[in-house]
Chains A and B, each alone.
Chain A
Amino acid sequence: EVQLVESGGGLVQPGGSLRLSCAASGFTFSNPWMSWVRQAPGKGLEWVANIKQDGSEKFYVDSVKGRFTISRDNAKNSLYLQMNGLRAEDTAVYYCARGGYYYVSWGQGTLVTVSS
């Protein structure tokens, strides 16, 4: 059974940093592209970033470029999102998703709240 388990969310002040992690199991993690997708409270879905199998290609939505970094460790079956310079508008549930373009599997999400 495919499992994606996010962690690392929490309350952070504007300008602060957080690192999200996603532990994957039930599939060969090194095979697919992986992504982060977020959902602000009561709002729709927004693609954040995706990363190629070997980490050689990464793409971001404009609103996070230069502030967020996606990475992966295939030996540890883990996906990461380093978030710096956090803003109130980054407040959302962050989902780890299997796939680079459409998303076959999703984690349950981790809530990031940016507030003073």
Chain B
Amino acid sequence: EIVLTQSPGTLSLSPGERATLSCRASQSVSSSYLAWYQQKPGQAPRLLVYGASSRATGIPDRFSGSGSGTDFTLTISRLEPEDFAVYYCQQYGSLPLTFGQGTKVEIK
């Protein structure tokens, strides 16, 4: 099983600042099969990025994903008020499909 470890657990930032979220895998994620999701309280998750760096339909270009192998990053270039949420990474290169434990981006 591939274990995904996200860091930091909580990121305290102000609107307009840059957010950098990390996701590290316990073993290489094949073909960069890594996705990122955003979840707000009481809502279902929303797909942001798949294939490590491809933005999902309708996702603003301030969200970008990068990385390969075992190290992946989600960057939000300039935080908007609606971006404060919990973010999860997920690998789909091998079964069982696994998620990271999440990074909460909160308003400083």
Number of A interface residues in the complex (CB < 8 A): 18
Contacts of B102 in A (CB 8 A): 44
Asked if B63 CB lies within 8 Å of chain A CBs, one says no
Chain A residues 65-116 with CB under 8 Å of chain B are 95, 101-109
Question: CA A44 – CA B43 in complex, angstroms?
Answer: 13
Please tell me if the beta carbons of B47 and A47 are within 8 angstroms of each other in the complex: no
Please tell me if the beta carbons of A102 and B99 are within 8 angstroms of each other in the complex: no
Question: CA A109 – CA B45 in complex, angstroms?
Answer: 10
Contacts of B43 in A (CB 8 A): 108
Q: Which residue in chain A gives the minimum CB-CB distance to B92?
A: A101
Q: Which residue of B45, B46, B47, B92 is within 8 Å of A45 (Cβ)? A: B45
Asked if A27 CB lies within 8 Å of chain B CBs, one says no
Please tell me if the beta carbons of A95 and B88 are within 8 angstroms of each other in the complex: no
Q: Which residue of A46, A47, A108 is within 8 Å of B44 (Cβ)? A: A108
